[in-house]
Amino acid sequence: MRLAEVERTFGNKASWDKPFAEWFETFVDEANQAVFRGNSACQAVCGNAIDLPAGFDLVYIDPPYISQRGVAVDYADFYHFLEGLCDYDGWQERIDWGSKHRRMVRQPNPWTDKAQIYAAFDRCFAHFAESILVVSYRSDGVPGIDELRSLMGRYKSNVQVAVFGDYTYALSTNKRSQEVLLFGI
Ligand SMILES: C[S@@+](CC[C@H](N)C(=O)[O-])C[C@H]1O[C@@H](n2cnc3c(N)ncnc32)[C@H](O)[C@@H]1O
Return per-residue pLDDT of the chain as tens, 185 residues.
556 676 665 567 777 788 989 988 989 999 999 999 989 998 988 889 999 999 999 999 999 989 988 889 888 888 888 999 999 999 999 999 999 889 999 988 999 999 999 999 999 999 999 999 999 999 999 999 999 999 999 999 999 999 987 665 555 556 678 899 999 99
119 and 181 housed in the same domain: yes
| Listed residue (68, 50, 67, 65) closest to 129, CA to CA | 50
Number of structural domains found in the chain: 2
- Kindly report the CATH number assigned to the domain that includes residue 162: 3.30.110
Atom of ligand 1 at shortest range from CA of 49: 20
Q: What local confidence, expressed as pLDDT, does residue 152 receive?
A: 98
CA angle 87, 77, 85 (to 5 degrees): 20
Residue 130 Cβ < 6 Å to ligand 1: no
**Ligand 1 contact, 116 CB (< 6 A):** no
One domain for residues 83 and 169: no
Query: For residue 38, how many other CB atoms are within 10 A of its CB?
Result: 6
- What is the reported pLDDT for 65? 87
- Residue 125 has a CB neighbour count (10 Å cut-off) of 23
**Residue 150 falls inside a structural domain:** yes
For ligand 1, whether the C-beta of 118 sits within 6 Å is no
Residues 81 and 67 in one domain: no
- In this structure, the number of other CB atoms found within 10 A of the CB of residue 128 comes to 22
Same domain, residue pair 132 and 48: yes
Task: Kindly give the distance from the C-alpha atom of residue 8 to the centroid of ligand 1, in angstroms, as a whole number.
Answer: 26
Q: Is 137 in the pocket of ligand 1 (CB under 6 A)?
A: no
* Phi, psi (degrees; rounded to nearest 5) at 105: -60, 130
pLDDT at 165: 74
What gap in Å lies between CA 90 and CA 49, rounded to an integer?
18
Residue 17 has a pLDDT of 82
Residues 50 and 92 in one domain: no
Q: Which atom of ligand 1 is nearest to the CA of 64?
A: 10
Verify whether ligand 1 is closer than 6 Å to residue 143 (CB atom): no
Give a yes or no: residue 31 inside a domain: no
Confirm whether 33 is domain-assigned: no
Is residue 16 one of the residues assigned to a domain?
no
86 contact partners, CB below 8 Å, separation of at least 6: 46
Whole domain around residue 168: which residue ranges?
38-72+110-185
Centre of ligand 1 from the C-alpha of residue 4, in Å: 34
User: Is 6 inside a domain boundary?
Assistant: no
Say if residue 136 is in the same domain as residue 61: yes
Q: Which pLDDT score is estimated for 172? A: 58
Residue among 148, 135, 149, 131 nearest 179 (CA): 135
- Same domain, residue pair 97 and 126: no
Task: Tell me the whole-structure pTM to 2 decimals.
Answer: 0.83
Whether 119 and 135 map to the same domain: the answer is yes
